[in-house]
Structure 1
Amino acid sequence: MPRRSLPPAEDQAARFARQREADRTATAEDYVELIADLLRVEGEARAVDLARRMGVSQATVTATVGRLQRDGLVETKPYRGLFLTDAGTEMATTAKARHDLVVRFLIAVGLDPETAEQDAEGLEHHASDKALAAFARFLAERDG
């Protein structure tokens, strides 16, 4: 098997940097998306619900919500739970649209809905805007 050459170091470093940034953003997007869903379906979003649905401890939720507050995405109100700021709502809407697009694409190329939902959880945060645009074009041409 022939050896592949490595890409230029600067290009490779940029790819890894994008990956690290996507990892950092993924947690915030997952939390605001879940908060938006809880508010829409249940009328409230509580830390205990986030912990249960994310499969993490209350302490993890508390620390993450603190970061989301600092970043201007979430507000807390005493005895009333969690609320999204305008920026948090915008992030949740964008994340949900990206998630739905990835799920639809994966189903369109033959994946079953359950696996598509599971796989979309990771892919939605790491697919580039170019990849997402290609997914959307593919779906538009197929449904067209």
Structure 2
Amino acid sequence: MITKPDGIAHHSHASASLSQDRFSKTRSDHAMELAADYAELIEDLQRLNGEARIVDMATHLGTSHVTVVGKLNRLVRDGIVRRQRHRAVFLTDEGKRLAAQARERHATVRSVLLAIGCPPEIAERDAEGIEHHISPETLAAFGRFLRQRAGDGDGTR
């Protein structure tokens, strides 16, 4: 919306385009956030149970079997997971990389929250949300902060 001298708000194509770009990026970011969460969950279930079954994923996520299958179909299309009908779900190399990156981001954010005095249970919960929205620059700054706290000099190593 642009307000013109007549005092009336008018839509502009430029502002609509900017809004569409922002929402498109938000949807893309949310899709990557879900992909990372699913990749981490699949890894956790494989470690705990020896396999990641759709029914276990649905139970853990508090959602329906149909919702999990829909998301898994997108993850298969995106090269994050592979699955066979009526069988367990497996991460591809890309899925494993995504899960590892998410775990590293989570650990870094959680460590900073603990370092500034957040109680462990709150740091854990908050890190789960922040890890998906933190910029690479801020994450790098968090890493430098943690290295400095650990006595690594200026934190650049």
Calculate the TM-score normalised by the size of structure 1.
Answer: 0.84
2:31 partner amino acid: R
* Count of residues in Structure 1 that have an aligned counterpart in Structure 2: 136
Paired amino acid for 1:59: V
Counterpart of 1:111, as a letter, is: C
Does residue 44 of structure 2 align to residue 37 of structure 1?
Answer: yes
2:135 aligns to what?
Answer: 128
User: Which residue, 103, 108, 111 being the options, matches 2:115?
Assistant: 108
- 1:1-144 to structure 2, matched below 5 A, reads 18-144=25-151
- Identity, in percent, stands at 47
Q: Distance in 2 between matches of 1:36 and 1:51?
A: 15
**1:77 to partner: Cα distance:** 2.7
Q: Which of 1 and 2 has higher RCO (CA within 8 Å, sep 6+)?
A: 1
Task: Note the C-alpha offset of 1:80.
Answer: 3.2
TM-score (norm 2): 0.78
Instruction: Specify the alignment match of 2:12 in structure 1.
Output: none
- Counterpart amino acid of residue 54 in structure 1: L
CA distance in 2, matches of 1:14, 1:109: 35
Residue deviations 1:74-128, cap 9 Å, x none?
1113443100011111111111111111111111111111111111111101000
Alpha-carbon distance, 1:11 to partner: 9.2
What is the CA-CA distance between 1:29 and the residue it aligns to? 0.4
Aligned residue number for residue 3 of structure 2: none
> What is the alpha-carbon distance in structure 2 between the residues aligned to residue 133 and residue 19 of structure 1?
22
- Whole-angstrom distance in 2 between the partners of 1:99 and 1:60: 25
Q: 27-36 or 10-19: which moved more?
A: 10-19
Residue segments in structure 2 that go unaligned for 5+ positions in a row: 1-16, 152-157
Q: Quickly say closer, same or farther: Cα 1:13–1:67, change in 2 above 3 A.
A: closer
1:45–1:82 CA contact under 8 A, matched in 2: yes
- The change in CA–CA distance for 1:79 and 1:96 in structure 2 (over 3 A counts) is same
Q: 1:72 touches 1:87 (CA, 8 Å); kept in 2?
A: yes
Which has the greater radius of gyration?
2
Two-structure CA RMSD over aligned residues (Å): 2.2
